[in-house]
Amino acid sequence: MLDFRLDTFLVVCKYMNFTKAAQELNITQPAVSQHIHYLEEAYQAKLFEYHAKKLTLTPQGEELLRAATTMKHDSIHLHDHLAHLAQEKRELIFGVTLTIGSFVMPQHLAAYLRKYPQTHIHMVVANTQELLKQLDAGEIDFALVEGYFSKNEYEYRIYATEKYIAVCSTQHQFSKKPRRLEHLFGERLILREPGSGTREILEKQLEERNFSVKDFASLVEINDIPAIKSLVELDCGIAFFYEKAVAKELQENRLRQIELSDFHVSHDFTFLWRRGSIFADYYQELFADLQEGD
């Protein structure tokens, strides 16, 4: 069980404000100060300091935040794990990004359920940043993401590496055959919402070339992959996808890849959990189990 003073510390870090932390915890502000002072004495380290009347973490405070976040996560996981162990049940509570959840995980989960048929599975689908927040809060145990994350905060393993390609309708006519990425800027771009891993990959590739999504003629933002694929198939614009997400449409000649000489991109799908977790061995076993079914 996590020390209640570490809980106080985590809430102060959430708001960077002692008054707001006291309100959420339903205790007095002096009590919050006492809890932080206790931790500073116990660890012989100053955790917070003020800069221009703004509360900030010291390097020691940042290190404690990383450790305390993992400890809280492990405490929640241990509570649930022990309850299910007593019932002789398995439970997986994890998160995946939309592409992974729709086009990668089903066959792997099917293999896992054949191996462990009594397992209760709760899979959350969200963008990378939302999944990291849920992981830090202990709402999920691990995640499979396609977006970027801090390697200081999470232990990770490469789950798969997938090609990332540009596609258009098989009926689409270019005014001039595109050979480079910037040759597509006269097109309407249909893409996922900000924060999605699929979009982040494109934005990073454009940024490295001193471009952005705003360089395209117009943008359509949709947070649903099937809807984007349908619009592209109806020749309403172009899009960028992981090849696995459009494999069926390419095979059935409903979409075609736009071949570009300067755009050969692959990206990792990553299995991750909180760095420093006492359950690291368990997560590594899950990583191996969930790779079955290819």
Q: What is the DSSP string of 139-172?
A: SSSEEEESS---TTTEEEEEEEEEEEEEEEETT-
| CA atoms of 168 and 170, how far apart (whole Å) | 6
In the numeric block, the tokens 């929640």 are attached to 76
148 and 280 share one domain: yes
Distances (CA, A) of 172 to 168, 215, 222, 258: 7, 20, 21, 10
171 and 254 share one domain: yes
| CA 5 from centroid of its chain's CA atoms | 29
Render pLDDT for 195-209 as a digit per residue (tens, 0 to 9). Answer: 888 898 999 999 999
Q: At 47, which CATH number?
A: 1.10.10.10
Q: Of 52, 68, 84, which residue is a domain's last?
A: 68
Is the pLDDT assigned to residue 85 strictly greater than 70? no
User: Is residue 294 a part of any domain in this protein?
Assistant: no
pLDDT at 203: 95
What residues pair up with 163 in beta bridges, in sequence order?
266
DSSP 90: -
In the numeric block, the tokens 């755009």 are attached to 263
Which range is least confidently modeled, 78-82, 94-98, 99-103, 253-257?
A: 78-82
| CA atoms of 260 and 206, how far apart (whole Å) | 14
Render pLDDT for 117-136 as a digit per residue (tens, 0 to 9). Answer: 888 899 999 988 899 999 98
152 and 165 share one domain: no
Model confidence at 86, pLDDT cuts 50, 70, 90, reads low
User: Is residue 236 a part of any domain in this protein?
Assistant: yes
51 and 80 share one domain: no
Which range is least confidently modeled, 86-90, 131-135, 276-280?
A: 86-90
CA angle 273, 154, 86 (to 5 degrees): 25
Beta carbons of 195 and 130 less than 8 angstroms apart = yes
User: Is residue 103 a part of any domain in this protein?
Assistant: yes
User: Is residue 15 a part of any domain in this protein?
Assistant: yes
Dihedral of CA atoms 117, 119, 125, 131 in degrees, nearest 10, equals -140
211 and 153 share one domain: no
Which range is least confidently modeled, 76-85, 150-159, 161-170?
A: 76-85
116 and 206 share one domain: no
Sign of the dihedral defined by the CA atoms of residues 21, 25, 27, 30, in that order: negative
Q: Of 31, 48, 68, which residue is a domain's last?
A: 68
User: Is residue 64 a part of any domain in this protein?
Assistant: yes
| CA atoms of 259 and 265, how far apart (whole Å) | 12
User: Is residue 260 a part of any domain in this protein?
Assistant: yes
How many structural domains does the chain have?
3
273 and 262 share one domain: no
63 and 201 share one domain: no
Q: Rank 63-67, 227-231, 274-278 by mean pLDDT and report only the highest.
A: 227-231
Q: At 95, which CATH number?
A: 3.40.190.10
165 and 254 share one domain: yes
178 and 202 share one domain: yes
Is the pLDDT assigned to residue 213 strictly greater than 70? yes
Render pLDDT for 8-35 as a digit per residue (tens, 0 to 9). Answer: 988 888 889 999 999 989 999 989 889 9
The token pair at 214 is 């705003």
Model confidence at 38, pLDDT cuts 50, 70, 90, reads confident
User: Is residue 14 a part of any domain in this protein?
Assistant: yes
Phi, psi of 208 (to 5 degrees): -65, -20
Task: Supply the mean pLDDT for the chain.
Answer: 90
36 and 165 share one domain: no
User: Is residue 16 a part of any domain in this protein?
Assistant: yes
Looking at 152-261, which runs of residues are DSSP E strands? 154-169, 188-191, 218-221, 239-242, 255-258
Which structural domain range is residue 42 located in?
4-68
155 and 277 share one domain: yes
CB contact set of 111 (below 8 Å; sequence gap of 6+): 292, 293
Q: Of 53, 68, 83, which residue is a domain's last?
A: 68
